[in-house]
A and B are shown apart, each in its own frame.
Chain A
Amino acid sequence: MSHADDFARGPVLRVVNYHNTPFAGADQFDREFAALSKRFAPVREADLDVWLDTGRWPHDRPGVIPAFYNGYRNNFDVARPLLEKHGLVGWFFAVTAYSSCPVEDQPAFTATRTLATVDDDYDDPRTALSWDELRSLDGPHVVASHTRNHTRVALDDAAKLEDEIVGAQEDFARELGHKVRSFAWLFGGRYGENPMADAAVDRAGYDFLFSNFNVQRLRRG
């Protein structure tokens, strides 16, 4: 099945992918969220369930997901208030060990992962969303998993896969009081490409997997 066939068959979801949202870009993000909110409705995981269960999108306007990857602190301080100003729901794909990392160790953490930070946003070294911030986002917005360490893992390393996929979910359950439903693997891998990773995703209990070209609702149980 080609991507063109996929688009024709649908359903097709609109997503805007963000990473850092620096203070210097706040006016731009304000314009973007204003334009998106005029045309599109906010999206939650329950909307995707309804869409797939009934074949009908449950709002009068199509939906858009502003997705924020890597769990950056400036997502909370810059993007969150602008999302709420315009009535949008952000999806925050956090990296759990980054949020758990002591502030003074965060520069070293990002330097050894594929995480880019902005130099001038803060006077202190914290660049990750804190768990308090994630708890505050959880509910008004969607908190989702983007692995535990945001590091490249050999796809045949069962222990590392377990740590990144299941371990991240354990962190969310401990800190938020519940599992999160959505997961995005690094570099956009799909469910169905790697049986070992798929088994870990199943054990973790995620419901949705975001990849480069798809959002897959997963089998449970």
Chain B
Amino acid sequence: MTEPQQPAESRDAQNDDSRSEAPTSTAPVQITPETDISTLSAAQLYDLNQEFLNDSVPTRPLVDTLVPMSVLREEYENGSGLFLQQIDELVEKGFKSIHRTRGDGDCFYRSLAFAYVSQLLASPDQAMSIATSLSLIESTSDLLDMAGFQKMVYEDFMESLTDIIKNVVGPDASGKKLDQETLLTKFQDAETSNYVVVYLRLLTSAQIRADPDTYSPFLFHPEAGVELEPREFCEAFVEATGREADHVQITALSRALQTNVKIAYLDGRSEKAEFVDFTNAVEPEMAPIHLLYRPGHYDILVPA
């Protein structure tokens, strides 16, 4: 079932734009394993892909438990050797484990948020790190206001993240302080997890809208290639649920959160998995968040 070049989970639901196909469904066509894929129309392929996604996507938690890289490696064992070399190279560099995330188009934002809070949890000076992080997030209200978002609309989303961060140093409603296990539970809870994702989407959008001179040259329709106004781009490709993030969004969010992000590209094109760096922390040497990118999907890389 798993294709070695691109595992099923790596294809995000919103990644496929053939969905702008026929609005009506007529008599269903019987598609069997013998059907030649090239004979299908774009609409049929879309349906097939959706079915496939519906089957495969809900099985994975929004953020999955930590597993060794060997689990990922197994999926590629019958495929291109370059993938295996890239995985092995990551392991050699010390990235021994991975939290995989659901391929629902929100995976970048979810991965980043999870890794961001994990980093706070692991901080040698938690009190200081939490205070800095909370004041930064609270200050994003100004940016969100400037972008024209209503407080009524964004405060719940923002609170979902600040509640988790506060929980690192103080007990939550259940009387417990946050640890890796409860962090995972929170990120597997659809309500909490999706609210955090929405906050990060709004923050990304606000960052782009606030600085059009910087971002305009990069705001293109991902498929059509036409230039877009910041507002158009943000509404369609940042704020909309399930739209995956690309370079512009990652840059904007890492700036807004003043954090360093390093993304390993696992693309099977060379022997080494190249890292792309987004260095936007006040102190450039601050330990970065590590993510793993495979075409259309992000997971969380964990050192050691």
Q: Do A and B bind each other?
A: no
